[in-house]
């Protein structure tokens, strides 16, 4: 019989956390290839050289496994996109930094043959209420909310037209990344990244402050 978590030795707890982190890392790599719905305990067990029961014991349910993967993806997205962009000055420099780091993150995914978990997850769970959809929506809302605040700050700094519709600006920038994934990953069209960058410049020019 296994010991309750509070009664386990520190070394066992640390090893358990390391194993769970390794499983989530493997699951994330798989999910970017086959989607969250493509995750299976069997495939992960084989990848980790573990038993199915051993993998399952770290999560308790498939939903919890999927949610853990969403949270890990969101944490990496924050680390590689949000954190460095927040070092840029408020206003347009920060909006540009958010887009630039987002493009780098997206390009790395596409070059690696994977896809965006947020985009793929939205297709899989758009009409399926539940905790996995909630986790995805929360993660995407965090991203779009951060971008909206940066756009609002750009207006406050006088970099964008004070009449610019912040929601519209965010919508158009977000749409560029969606189109990039569609053209680059699905249609395999060359030059999609360049078109996304040009589109971003066009959005800012259209909503720029008039001096």
Q: Please tell me the total count of domains within the chain.
A: 1
Q: Are 47 and 26 in contact (CB under 8 A)?
A: yes
Q: What CA–CA distance (Å, rounded) separates 64 from 50? A: 18
The overall pTM is greater than 0.85: yes
What the block records as the tokens of 25 is 């890392």
Return per-residue pLDDT of the chain as tens, 211 residues.
455 555 556 776 778 789 899 999 999 999 988 899 988 888 888 888 899 898 888 888 889 999 999 999 999 999 999 999 999 999 999 999 999 999 999 999 988 888 899 999 999 999 999 999 999 999 999 999 999 999 999 999 999 999 999 999 999 999 999 999 999 999 999 999 999 999 999 999 999 988 6
Q: Which structure tokens are listed for 130?
A: 């539940």
Is there a domain that residue 198 lies in? Answer: yes
Q: Is residue 12 part of a domain?
A: no
| Cross-strand pairs, 208 | 160
pLDDT for residue 112: 86
The verdict on residue 34 lying in a domain is no
Q: What is the pLDDT of residue 1?
A: 42
Cβ(152)–Cβ(166) below 8 Å = yes
| Token couple for 87 | 């070092």
What pLDDT, on the 0 to 100 scale, is given for residue 6? 52
Residue with tokens 């999609």: 192
Provide the CB-side half-sphere exposure for 184 (13 A, CA): 24
Assigned domain for 126 exists? yes
Q: Which residue range is the domain that position 199 belongs to?
A: 62-206
Does a structural domain hold residue 54? Answer: no
- Which CATH number covers residue 103? 1.10.357.10
41 falls within a domain? no
In a domain, 141, yes or no: yes
Res 24: pLDDT = 94
């Amino acid at each position: 019989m296994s010991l309750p978590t509070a009664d386990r030795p520190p070394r066992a707890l640390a090893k358990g956390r390391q194993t769970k982190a390794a499983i989530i890392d493997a699951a994330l790599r798989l999910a970017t290839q086959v989607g969250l719905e493509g995750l299976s305990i069997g495939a992960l067990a084989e990848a980790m050289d573990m038993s199915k029961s051993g993998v399952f014991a770290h999560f308790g349910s498939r939903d919890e496994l999927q949610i853990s993967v969403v949270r890990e993806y969101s944490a990496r997205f924050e680390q590689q996109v949000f954190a460095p962009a927040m070092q840029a000055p408020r206003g347009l420099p920060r909006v540009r930094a958010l887009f630039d780091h987002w493009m780098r993150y997206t390009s790395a995914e596409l070059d690696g043959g994977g896809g965006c978990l947020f985009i793929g997850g939205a297709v899989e769970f758009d009409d399926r209420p539940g905790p996995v959809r909630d986790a995805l929506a929360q993660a995407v809302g965090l991203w779009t909310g951060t971008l909206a605040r940066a756009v609002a700050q750009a207006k406050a700094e006088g970099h964008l037209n004070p009449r610019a519709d912040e929601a519209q600006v965010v919508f158009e920038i977000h749409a560029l990344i969606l189109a990039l994934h569609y053209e680059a990953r699905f249609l395999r069209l060359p030059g999609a990244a360049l078109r996304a960058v040009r589109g971003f410049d066009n959005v800012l020019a259209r909503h720029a402050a008039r001096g």
